[in-house]
Amino acid sequence: MKKVMAVVLAAAIFAATTAVAQEGFYAGASAGSATIEDKSEGLEFKGNDFAWKIFGGYMFSDVFGIEAGWADMGSPSDSILGAKTKIEANGFDLFAVGVLPVNDSFDIFGKAGMINWNAKGYVDGAKVMDDDGNDLALGVGGRLKLNDTMRARAEFEWFDISDADKVWAISVGFEMSFN
């Protein structure tokens, strides 16, 4: 019985140290393009612009973590009835992240959470809208391990902003782990 307990204790210690080795903090930045589309009252807005974000997170294991960040969607613009229209949008987001390792160098991830957003709308330079809210945010992407601490990252994010028909972003960037 003592030998069985010793083996169980040794296995538990080994499992705990393995789990600790897989967890850790990470931070990064990405840049790409954001698109906002909306149709209302017979008018259609569709614009895209340069977007960027910074983010950080904590992996509890090699397959589950949390991530928070700041996203700037730029100022997508369009011409509606001859008037230059633009929307400036940004927000803080918080996600639960699930990771599927493909091999030692590449994994894919999915994330689900919320975005606390702020948007301002302008027509010919005059502010006509200032709104904010909290809505669903989803994402999917891939990460390529460059070395023990750096990864290249590409992802697609969709935001269910209640005041717009479609809001999404595509980006590439880097993340650094601090294990």
10 domain residue, yes or no:
no
Give domain status of residue 15, yes or no. Answer: no
- Looking at residues 15-33, what average pLDDT do you find? 71
Structural tokens at position 147 = 């070395």
Asked, for residue 81, whether it belongs to a domain, the answer is yes
Query: What per-residue string of b and e applies to 26-46 under the rule 16 or more CB within 10 Å gives b?
Result: bebbbebebbbbbeeeeeebe
Residue pair 173/29 in contact by the 8 Å Cβ criterion: yes
In the predicted model, what is the mean pLDDT of residues 88-107?
96
Q: Residue 143 falls within a domain, yes or no? A: yes
Q: Let me know if residue 14 belongs to a domain.
A: no
pLDDT digits (tens, 9 = 90+) for 39-48: 887 889 999 9
What pLDDT, on a 0 to 100 scale, did the predictor assign at position 22? 52
In a domain, 2, yes or no: no
Residue 8 within a domain: no
pLDDT at residue 4 tops 50: no
Rg (CA), the chain: 21
The DSSP bridge partners found for residue 27 are: 56, 176
Prediction pTM value: 0.82
CA distance 71 to 74: 9
Mean pLDDT lowest among 1-5, 123-127, 139-143, 149-153: 1-5
H/E element, 9: helix 2-22
* CB contact set of 3 (below 8 Å; sequence gap of 6+): none
CATH number, domain with residue 162: 2.40.160.20
More confident residue, 172 or 15: 172
Range of the domain at 66: 23-178
Domain tally, the chain? 1
* pLDDT over 60 at 1, yes or no: no
14 versus 21: the higher-pLDDT residue is 14
